[in-house]
Amino acid sequence: MQKNKIYIFILLVALGVSSCGEYQKVLNKGTSEEQYQLAVKLYDAQKYTKAIALFEKITPSYKGKPQMERIQYMVSQAHYNTKQYSLAAYYFDKFVKSYPKSSKVEEAAYLSAYSYYLASPVYSLDQKDTKEAITALQSFIYKFPDSDKVPAANKNIKELTYKLEKKSFEIAKQYYHTQDYTAAMVAFDNLLSDYLGTSFKEEATYLKFKSAYYLGTNSIVVKKEERINEALKVHQRFERNFPNSKYLAETKKLNSELSNELNAITVIKTQN
């Protein structure tokens, strides 16, 4: 039994070496046709990394030939299947532009956009890929409005937009926690204007009011009245938009303090 296991192991190793030897031979010295045939064989066997290397090598030889459409699609799909999503997005997009009449153009367009979606990082990192993904998905919906993939594309856009909202909100909140209240108010305003339906609207407006409150109460004399009035306006909008907010009891108390301080300023001005 042990001898049989050893024999099988040796046979598998020999086959592996033979296979590798064939691959290297075709890769380095094979004709374009041999490389193409082996690349397709490896692609079908899901050995995508080796297939990509062969496809890249034969691309110049097949430029302008009928096989090139298939090669470009397989290269795109191979990158996608190996989770190289940025490269997959690039190659699928290239396929769409090169073969706009292909029967696979709709699928390639969606996979390009979806690859950008998969390449999108967590909200705390740079969101360049997220923005590219949203643009690509919107472009797909515009070009293929009747596609059965439109609902999925809309869902992807919603998830990506939330990620951008989250990043914008966390940046504004960081300004608030570091007591840079002027920057916090600007950042909260940017969030609320850029994402009108954001799920962070209530908390963002609440923290904007608190930023305005602290900015007003801790302000130098010459700017205090103006800043308190601005804080009172922010609270008025907050109370109007969120009449049942869990923050309202707190904000009303702070708003009352602001009103009292403003009245005191008015009295002093009148006396002078």
Position 224 scores a pLDDT of 86
What is the structure's pLDDT at 2?
Answer: 53
Domains annotated on the chain, with CATH: 64-178 (1.25.40.10), 179-272 (1.25.40.10)
Question: What pLDDT score was predicted for residue 271?
Answer: 65
* Amino acid residing at 69: E
d(CA 211, CA 232): 12
pLDDT at 29: 63
pLDDT in tens, the chain (272 residues): 555 544 444 434 333 444 567 788 867 667 878 888 888 899 999 999 999 999 998 888 888 888 899 999 999 999 999 999 999 999 999 999 999 999 999 999 999 999 999 999 988 888 998 999 999 999 999 999 999 999 999 999 999 999 999 999 999 999 999 999 999 999 999 999 999 989 999 999 999 999 999 999 988 878 888 899 999 999 999 999 999 999 999 999 999 999 988 887 777 777 66
pLDDT at 15 (0 to 100) = 39
Q: What does the pLDDT read at residue 257?
A: 92
